[in-house]
Amino acid sequence: MSEKLEVYSLIDRARLLIVNGKSVPFTNKVIIGRNDINAQLQLIEGAIPNDVMRARDVLAEESRLIDEANRMVDDAENRYNERIARANMEAQSILNQANADAARIVDDARTQADAVRADAQARLTDAAAQADDTIREANERANIMAAQAQQQASNMIADATARAQQMVDESEITRRANETAAEMMDNAQRECANLKGNAYSAVLQMLNQTEEDFTAQIEAVRSLRESIPQ
């Protein structure tokens, strides 16, 4: 009898033990002697071919190797997850620091821009005040000179009239006096116009210089803003 047939025969005997076992009422169970079934199982185990036993050992070793491989994979995954977690923490720390630096740079730039704007506004205010003072002084001087010229002309006309009354050719003297007075009046008006023109030129030059300073400061602020990383 071959080993395979012997195993099947022993299995059949084990089935007979179950079939011939005493039934338990109202259940699907039977009573089998422990010694009988243990003896039959030992016979079956002894009849199993060596190749099958070796295959069982191989399967057991394979199962052990698979478990070991799974454990190694789990360990590798855990190490990988730990490294990823550390990398994420470091990246988040770097990102937080970069955001803090960017916020600080933006605050510094905003503070500097506010200071530049305030300085430019103060300069513009001073320039406007100086321009007003210059124009007012020029107008006052022009008015004074015009009044003086008018007074001198009036005095000359009065003097010429008085002297003309003592002379025979009264009309010629009066004409000359009037011409001289008109000439002085024209000179005074031209001088006033020159004073006003010079005052306006000085104010315009002052405003242009203030605009250039303000533009240079705006360009400095723009360059600072463009140097901030986005």
Distance CA 14, CA 7 (A): 11
Name residues whose C-beta falls within 8 Å of residue 29's C-beta, 6 or more positions apart in sequence. Answer: 23
pLDDT digits (tens, 9 = 90+) for 212-222: 887 888 887 77
DSSP characters over 6-24: HHHHHHHHHHHHHHTSEEP
User: Does residue 1 register a pLDDT over 60?
Assistant: no
Q: List CB contacts of 217: < 8 A, sequence separation 6 or more.
A: 116, 119, 120
pLDDT at 4: 61
Instruction: Tell me the pLDDT of the chain averaged across its residues.
Output: 79
**Residue 188 in contact with residue 212, Cβ under 8 Å?**
no
CB neighbours (10 Å) of residue 128? 14
Confidence of residue 224 (pLDDT cuts 50, 70, 90): confident
Q: What is the pLDDT of residue 185?
A: 80
- pLDDT at 33 (0 to 100): 84
At 3 the pLDDT is: 61
6-60 tens-digit pLDDT:
777 888 888 888 888 888 888 888 888 889 888 888 888 888 776 766 766 777 8
> What pLDDT is recorded for position 230?
63
Among 10-24, 73-87, 183-197, the range scoring the smallest mean pLDDT is 183-197
Structure pTM? Answer: 0.35
pLDDT in tens, 109-158: 788 878 877 887 788 787 778 877 877 887 788 788 778 877 887 787 77
Better pLDDT: 56 or 91: 91
* The pLDDT value given to residue 25: 87
pLDDT band at 189 (very low <50, low <70, confident <90, very high): confident
Residues 6 or more apart in contact with residue 67 via CB below 8 angstroms: none
pLDDT, tens digit (0-9, with 9 covering 90-100), for 161-177: 777 666 655 567 677 77
- CA atoms within a 13 Å half-sphere pointing along the CA-CB vector of 154: 6
Residue 77: per-residue pLDDT: 84
